[in-house]
Amino acid sequence: MNQSKQNPVVVVMGAGNATGSAVARRFASEGYTACVSRRNEEKLQPLIQSIEEAGGQARAFGADARKEEQVQAMFRTVEEEIGPIEVCVFNVGGNVKFPLEETTSRVYYKVWEMGCFAGFLTGREAVRYMKPRGRGTILFTGATASMRGASGFAAFSGAKFGLRSLAQSMAREFGPLGIHVAHVIIDGAIDTEWIEELFPETYAKKKDDGILNPEEIAEVYWQLHLQKRSAWTQEMDLRPWMETF
């Protein structure tokens, strides 16, 4: 198949209603075909519709990022039927809070699968297609928990610490081969319905730009992709101006 006539592709694993969707829309606005994924494909339809109504191209995939065969099948389909993967964004969540003694082994393992193991599967598959072409961008979404553990967040922090080290290792291994790997620490609350419902006092800061705007996060992801290899960013943090650190 001649891919030279096809649009470049951005894969977004974990295209939720906030950051993931914003990233997909931003890249689609630049002519990329947005291949977006989450476990429930039906939940992706509003995103697909918004991209297409804006003149972009998108395709939805119902895939569990923790399942190796599903991740492999998705990447294979994208490359064979849609176009060359130029950018891969891993944005799967998994933020839960449990006191340690109430954290079951099942919960801990599931959070690790979502936040870390799924990142490994996604990053590995992206590399397998990017490496022969000698180019590509792989972006991992981190969190405050990537840098420091907090009370009640042992599972989430463990997963995010692991994802950060994965990103570092991949950057060192594949940067010399032309693949830009970066880890973005989202240090603060994001403008989501979840924050609005559970943390109304925090959400009230939105009027003063006190929480992170998903569209502005997406703009940073786009700019990371545009960076020249003489000045690549491996890690950066994003936070509202009033967030303490």
Query: Is pLDDT of 112 > 80?
Result: yes
| Burial class of residue 5 (count of CB atoms within 10 Å of its CB; 0-12, 13-18, 19+) | exposed
Tell me: pLDDT of 215 over 90. yes
The pTM for the full model equals: 0.94
Residue 113: partners with Cβ closer than 8 Å, 6 or more residues away = 66
* Rounded (5°) CA angle 210-214-219: 110
Q: Which CATH superfamily is domain 7-188+216-238 in?
A: NAD(P)-binding Rossmann-like Domain (3.40.50.720)
pLDDT digits over 141-169, tens only? 999 999 999 998 899 999 999 999 999 99
Q: Where are the beta strands (DSSP E) in the chain?
A: 9-13, 33-38, 57-62, 85-90, 136-143, 179-186, 235-238
Q: What is the mean pLDDT of residues 198-219?
A: 93
Place 123 in a pLDDT band, splitting at 50, 70 and 90: very high
Q: Which stretch of 29-38, 140-149, 190-199 has the lowest confidence by average pLDDT?
A: 190-199
Q: How confident is the model at residue 140 (pLDDT cuts 50, 70, 90)?
A: very high
**245 token code pair:** 């650190």
Q: Predicted confidence band at 95 (pLDDT cuts at 50, 70, 90)?
A: confident
pLDDT at 1 over 80: no
Q: How many whole angstroms separate alpha carbon 191 and alpha carbon 179?
A: 31
pLDDT of residue 5: 64
Phi first, then psi: what are they for 144, rounded to 5°?
Answer: -50, -35
Q: Which helix (H) or strand (E) holds 149?
A: none
Average pLDDT over residues 16-41: 96
Instruction: Give the model's pLDDT for residue 244.
Output: 86
pLDDT recorded at residue 11: 98
* Percentage of the chain lying above the pLDDT 70 cut: 98
Which of 144, 128, 147, 45 lies closest to 88 in space, CA to CA? Answer: 128
For the chain, what are the domain ranges? 7-188+216-238
Least confident of 31-35, 46-50, 99-103, 119-123: 99-103
Cβ–Cβ < 8 Å for 213, 191: yes
Q: Which of 172-181, 196-205, 235-244 is predicted with the least confidence, judged by mean pLDDT?
A: 196-205
Q: 3 pLDDT exceeds 80?
A: no
